[in-house]
């Protein structure tokens, strides 16, 4: 998908990735209702409601301020600390966002910039909340550089239930901050590796929202 398409992707309320699942779940519920299969219909409507809430993709407003790095995902902060960026090999400030199945799972660029590198790593499907998931789980990494030449790395990580990481960008694509660049289905995590001099603005346990919450400032 071209960078222009990502920038112009509207706020659809339901993520484009979810429409086949929504159509299937609602269709089955409608059929069961029409056939008067009451118990099955109730279960299917509950499943349809879950599918719709999972794939919801609301519009978001960015925080006000200079040099802000915004959250790439909704969820809860599970890691804030210094470590080595596994892609660039540089000392970095790592901030990890864990998404449960009730969070919005559309992933957004934390900064404006140009995609320098993307890498996919096959792996396991451990609970994404545990720290070793960063090294052992299936994941997809994106390195992005802002107009001032500063770089950070975002790594989408599959979780215990997640089996599908979608990353729409490739090297050379340009992203606005908050642009949708990927999606992870059914519980997962995103690790952000900022330059070591960046100032963390969140703590472990904080709830964050994609494009709305500032994770750090550089």
Give catalytic residue positions: 188
DSSP assignment string, 128-149: TTSTTHHHHB-EEEEEEE-TTS
Rounded Cα–Cα distance for residues 128 and 99 (Å): 8
| Residue 4 CB burial class (10 angstroms; 0-12, 13-18, ≥19) | exposed
Q: Which H/E stretch holds residue 69? A: strand 68-70
Give alpha helix (H) positions in 55-168: 133-136
How many Cα atoms sit within 13 Å of 56 on the Cβ side? 15
- C-alpha distances out from residue 127 to 119, 134, 189, Å: 21, 10, 9
User: Rg of the chain's alpha carbons, rounded to an integer?
Assistant: 18
Contact, 57 vs 123, CB < 8 A?
Answer: no
């Amino acid at each position: 998908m071209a960078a222009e398409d990502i920038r112009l992707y509207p706020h659809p309320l339901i993520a484009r990735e979810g429409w086949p699942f929504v159509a299937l779940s609602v269709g089955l519920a409608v059929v069961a209702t029409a056939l008067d299969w009451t118990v099955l219909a109730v279960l299917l409507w509950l499943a349809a409601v879950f599918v719709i809430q999972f794939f919801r993709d609301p519009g978001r407003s960015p925080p006000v301020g200079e040099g802000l790095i915004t959250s790439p995902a909704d969820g809860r902060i599970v890691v804030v600390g210094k470590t080595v960026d596994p892609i660039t090999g540089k000392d970095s400030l790592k901030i990890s966002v864990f998404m449960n199945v009730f969070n919005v799972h559309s992933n957004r660029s934390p900064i404006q910039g140009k995609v320098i590198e993307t890498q996919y790593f096959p792996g396991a499907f451990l609970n994404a909340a545990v720290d070793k998931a960063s090294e052992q789980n299936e994941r997809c990494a994106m390195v992005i550089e802002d107009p001032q030449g500063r770089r950070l790395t975002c790594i989408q990580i599959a979780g215990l239930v997640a089996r599908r990481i979608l990353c729409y960008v490739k090297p050379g694509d340009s992203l606005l901050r908050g642009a949708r660049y990927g999606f992870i289905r059914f519980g997962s995590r995103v690790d952000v590796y900022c330059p070591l001099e960046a100032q963390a603005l969140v703590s472990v346990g904080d709830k964050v929202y994609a494009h709305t919450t500032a994770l750090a400032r550089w």
